[in-house]
Amino acid sequence: MNVKSMPIQDIHDELFRRMVENYDATVPCQHHGGCDRPAKWVAVFHGQCPSVVVCHAHKRAWVATMTEGVREGQDLACYQCHRRFFFTLDELVTFHRLDRAGG
């Protein structure tokens, strides 16, 4: 889509058409190791690093790994920017279900 030559309303109409067309599309897990499962969660990092969508298995594994590290006295660190956090996992990342409202 070459937006430079399109009127603003045409751009909005085209984007809306694409959103409706892909309403039922499956969002893939974005785990850095690769994954074929559909994403079920949005991992919203501490406000500076981009959010990532992950499947239930990778969310569960990530939380377990981070929780175990804290129990062993390790600092929490963002895997994207390596910033350290010292209090809770929620300080580093929060997870939100990726589903339609009411569904």
Q: What gap in Å lies between CA 41 and CA 58, rounded to an integer?
A: 9
Q: Which pLDDT score is estimated for 102? A: 42
Polymer length of the chain: 103
User: Whole-prediction pTM value?
Assistant: 0.67
Percentage of residues of the chain with pLDDT beyond 70: 93
Q: What gap in Å lies between CA 72 and CA 86, rounded to an integer?
A: 13
Phi-psi region of 20 (alpha: psi -120 to 50; beta: other; left: phi over 0): alpha
39 or 91, which is more confident: 39
Q: Which pLDDT score is estimated for 54? A: 95
Q: What gap in Å lies between CA 81 and CA 96, rounded to an integer?
A: 21
Q: What gap in Å lies between CA 97 and CA 41, rounded to an integer?
A: 5
Question: Taking 60 as the threshold, does the pLDDT of residue 77 lie above it?
Answer: yes
Q: Which pLDDT score is estimated for 26? A: 83
